[in-house]
Amino acid sequence: MKKFGYYKKLNARQRRIYDQSDTVTSIRLPAVAPLHDSATRLALALGADDRAATQTASQRLVDGLLHRLRVMPVQVHVLAVRPTSRREELHGQYQYGGARQRPLITVWMRTAQRRQVVAFRSFLRTLLHEVVHHLDYQMLRLEDSYHTAGFYKRAESLYRQVTPAELQAGPEADDASMEARGAGRAAPRGAPAEGVTPTSRDSSAAAGKGLRRRPAVPVVAAGGEPTRRRTPRRKAAGPAANNAPEQPQLPFLDFE
């Protein structure tokens, strides 16, 4: 599988993690019909510009998905308008570790610029992108969660499974598509996972962070903002994480 440009800046340990990430190309979900129902509710809530209902539907969808994979749950927050105080617009983020006892996914309903409600498919892709970060840690047991070709394939495989055909149809006339799809970055999908670590965020265009534990590494700073996470990620040691499976749930994974 093609390596993204930042691969050559990774050290041996990081490359090993990256390579592991690349090997899993899809995650299969059993019994997806109820997830289609959740996705449909999500589309309706988003279309109605109803933040509370969007959050409820998003949480339900993610709960159902993780339950099927026997992975610890994650809390989902849907906020109104994307923050603007950043160089790149934030679409979603995944946080876990540090003082945070439960993993949290945050997604935004509206673009910062025009304040339009994010298109359904963009929104769902962003949500699932963050879910894949969670799965990287809690299911694949990766030490870090990089944006690799395998990562994007996993995210897309989830998207294809949870989205009813009628909602997948039609042109993809979305705004910025999704977080790491690259709001305007030269190599949007090439940067290291930004939010990859606990207590970190997923910035749009993968702000080149994510080399957790080495916040001072130049590559880490490539995305602009300072990285503040330093908590060793294996927060998986927390009580909640004990519910997570010891080993990756191999039956759900497709390896390349």
| Contact (CB, 8 A) for 175 and 75 | no
Contact range with Zn ion by CB under 5 A, out of 29-37, 194-202, 224-232, 245-253: 194-202
Q: According to the binding rule CB under 5 A, does residue 88 interact with Zn ion?
A: no
> Which lies closer to Zn ion via its Cβ, residue 64 or residue 208?
208
Instruction: Give the ranges where the chain is alpha helix by DSSP (H).
Output: 12-23, 33-47, 51-69, 120-138, 149-162, 165-168, 179-182, 218-221
Burial class (CB in 10 A: 0-12, 13-18, 19+), 93: buried
* DSSP H helical ranges for 6-148: 12-23, 33-47, 51-69, 120-138
Q: Is 180 in the site for Zn ion (CB under 5 A)?
A: yes
CB of 147 to Zn ion, least distance (A): 6
Q: What angle do CA 120, 178, 256 make, to 5 degrees?
A: 110
Q: With contacts defined by CB under 5 A, how many residues of the chain interact with Zn ion?
A: 2
Q: Does 22 bind Zn ion (CB under 5 A)?
A: no
Take residue 208 and report the two structure tokens written for it.
Answer: 């080149």
Rounded least distance, CB 239 to Zn ion, Å: 26
Q: Which stretch binds Zn ion (CB under 5 A): 37-45, 56-64, 196-204, 212-220?
A: 196-204
Angle at 53 between CA 52 and CA 55, to 5 degrees: 65
- In angstroms, what is the minimal distance from the CB of 225 to Zn ion? 14
202 binds Zn ion (CB under 5 A): yes
Shorter beta-carbon distance to Zn ion: residue 22 or 202: 202
CB under 5 A: which stretch of 20-28, 83-91, 159-167, 173-181 binds Zn ion? 173-181
Which residue's Cβ lies closest to Zn ion?
202
Binding site for Zn ion (CB under 5 A): 180, 202
